[in-house]
Amino acid sequence: MNAQPFLHRLREDFLHLIAPALCPGCDEPLGPEEREYCRTCRTSLEPAPYPREILAEIATHFPPEELAIEAIGALYNYAPESGARNLVHALKYQGCYGLGVAMGGELGRALRMFTAFDDVEIVAPVPLHRAKMRERGYNQAQAIAEGVVKAMHGTRLAHLLERTRHTTSQTLLDAAGRRRNVREAFRRTAFSLEGACVLLCDDVCTTGATLNACAERLLVSGARRVVAATLAKDPLNATRPDVRVVLGG
């Protein structure tokens, strides 16, 4: 019997006993069986709307002929002061790569409940620009994609895109500004798509501008269809759109 996993677990349990790690979502100590974030956060954070509703909201930010994403799923609502916001912040700015993989696993398991994601073959992270990668040391979207691949059997991880421009933050831009800001910001790598269904992964979706710019590039490059998934959905406006366009998914 290989004693390494047992010894590793013993060491982790001992460390937990002397200094319990805190859940980055709620700041409560993690229990002995909890890894990365606590069970309460996993089960009681405010859920994101269903994929069909998220797609309908995103569709309001694009001219119909420019919407390249066919379906989009998310785990949590990205409300101000929420645990979801704390978790994404820890993933992006506090080096919690394993947290991204764990949350990606939750995301992948959630996506399996929706037929729109049944035929996903390739899972691709939204790329970071090289300068940002140097600064942060890792791409948080890749951590999420790794978790998703583990949870969605039959899929594989691939880096399909490069970020050619360092885009300014989208935070203060409206929907049209966001579309302009990320247009032509991505380039495809040499990977062959062969008519595959590609799932794009990122941390947060607001208007979907970044995901859609990536999806456009993948469709031009031979993808059969592109779907997307993020840990959280951030509503751009507090009010929900009055007009709902149902596109399926």
Beta strand pairing status for 186-188 and 161-163? antiparallel
Q: Does 26 bind Zn ion (CB under 5 A)?
A: yes
Binding track, positions 105-124, relative to Zn ion; x by CB under 5 A: --------------------
Closest CB 31 distance from Zn ion, rounded Å? 10
Q: Which is nearer to Zn ion, 2 or 43 (CB)?
A: 43
Distance of closest approach, residue 12 Cβ to Zn ion, in angstroms: 18
Residue 96 sits in the site that holds Zn ion (CB under 5 A): no
Identify which range of 36-44, 96-104, 154-162, 198-206 contacts Zn ion by CB under 5 A.
36-44
Token code pair at residue 179: 């579309």
Nearer to Zn ion among residue 6 and residue 93 (C-beta): 93
Query: Is residue 25 involved in binding Zn ion (CB under 5 A)?
Result: yes
Q: Is residue 19 helix, strand or coil?
A: coil
State yes or no: residue 30 binds Zn ion (CB under 5 A). no
Query: What single letter denotes the amino acid at residue 217?
Result: R
What would the two tokens of residue 107 be? 């995301």
Residue 75 interacts with Zn ion (CB under 5 A): yes or no? no
**CB atoms inside a 10 Å sphere around CB 39:** 12
Amino acid type, 138? Y
23 touching Zn ion, by CB under 5 A: yes
What residues pair up with 200 in beta bridges, in sequence order? 124, 228
Stretch that binds Zn ion, among 19-27, 46-54, 126-134, 188-196 (CB under 5 A): 19-27
The full DSSP string for 63-102 is -GGG---S-EEEEEE--TT-HHHHHHHHHHHS--HHHHHH
The total of other beta-carbon atoms located within 10 Å of residue 51's CB is: 24
d(CA 143, CA 17): 28
Token pair 């398991």: residue = 109
* Residue 247 near Zn ion by CB under 5 A: no
Beta carbon nearer to Zn ion, 40 or 221: 40
Q: Which of the ranges 16-24, 54-62, 96-104, 187-195 carries the binding residues for Zn ion, by CB under 5 A?
A: 16-24
List residues binding Zn ion (CB under 5 A).
23, 25-26, 38, 41
